[in-house]
Amino acid sequence: MKAAVYSRYGPPDVIHIEEVDRPIPRDNEVLVHIHAATVSAADWRMRKADPFLIRFMNGLRRPKKTIILGMEFSGTVAAIGRAVTLFAPGDKVFGGTGFQFGAHAEYVCLPEGGTLAAKPENITMEEAAGVLFGGFSALHFLRKGNIQAGQNVLIYGASGSVGTFAVQLAVHFGARVTGVCSSANMELVRSLGAAHVLDYTREDFSSAGPVYDMVFDAVGYSGFERSLRALKRGGYYVRVGGSGKLLAMLRGAFQSMWTSITGAAKVVGGVAAGSREDQLFLKGLIESGKLRTVIDRCYPLAEIAEAHRYVEAGHKKGQVIILIEPAILPSYVAAFRENTC
């Protein structure tokens, strides 16, 4: 099968297409023929080894093995193991591989009990592929921030892959949302349910003082001091993204500890976790029309290096989709050239 792989750290061009062995499902596994996947921040950070700590997991000078990236996908069940009962060949599904990666390929194997579910019928395969990375991250950190109905919540980076889901989920939980993004994306964020939208190039969200119960930074650029100025005492400062630089991480850890000790705010960070139950929760919201995937651009698998380059630049809105199934590519060529699906 074809897969996008890399065997050394570096710029987007280290990603290339190779023929690799197709996985064979074990008794409890499902083999999925992938239709679409995404390129996320986790993908380019792994490829670039940013932060440097990635090298201690995957290899200091170069990865210990050839790696296939990709954390989320949609597709069709191609085969099942002998013990599988929840799925059958031909089922349309969406799922996530987490930090096992592997979705930038024509096929992937997952355990039957993993994050795999029937695709919501009211969205496309491309939209289904882009649900879990942003959806899991937004849901996990909103819950860690003790999201409550009636709260004032500011979401910084509201037009990104995590931010677009965070806006919709916070609204679903009954919060009054202020989104922060660029002027080009303000209407998009309003359409997701934000009551107010600020252009970060023209307005300082902290200038109004401590008015928010939660500051949710989806991209890592809100600034620690500014975020604390905007928070009510004892509120939650949720940090999803970051620069990945060691000194910044150490400084952030010290600031978080001191802020929590003084009671000025509760700082939430770490790595998002997602489960099959969370996946079914998101699926239910999608099927009821309360949650949607925002798609920025679609790229064929052959142009995945360019997709990495675009995502790493940090200006995308919503998801960047990789179209993997060869049969669907021709119908998307014209739309792809116009930077949309």
82: left (phi over 0), alpha (psi -120 to 50) or beta: alpha
pLDDT at 255 over 80: no
Task: Give the mean pLDDT of the chain.
Answer: 91
Any idea what DSSP says for residue 23? P
Q: Percentage of the chain with pLDDT > 90?
A: 82
In what order do the strands lie in the sheet containing 2-6? 16-19, 2-6, 67-68
Q: Tokens 């892959």 — which residue? A: 161
In this prediction, residue 326 has a pLDDT band, given cuts at 50, 70 and 90, of: low
212, exposed or middle or buried, with CB in 10 Å at 0-12, 13-18, 19+?
buried
For the chain, what is the radius of gyration of the CA atoms? 20
Q: Going from the N-terminus, what domains does the chain have, and what CATH number goes with each?
A: 2-131+293-337 (3.90.180.10), 133-268 (3.40.50.720)
Q: How many CB atoms lie within 10 A of CB 174?
A: 11
pTM of the model as a whole = 0.91
Say what the pLDDT of residue 247 is.
Answer: 57
pLDDT at 327 over 60: no
321, exposed or middle or buried, with CB in 10 Å at 0-12, 13-18, 19+?
buried
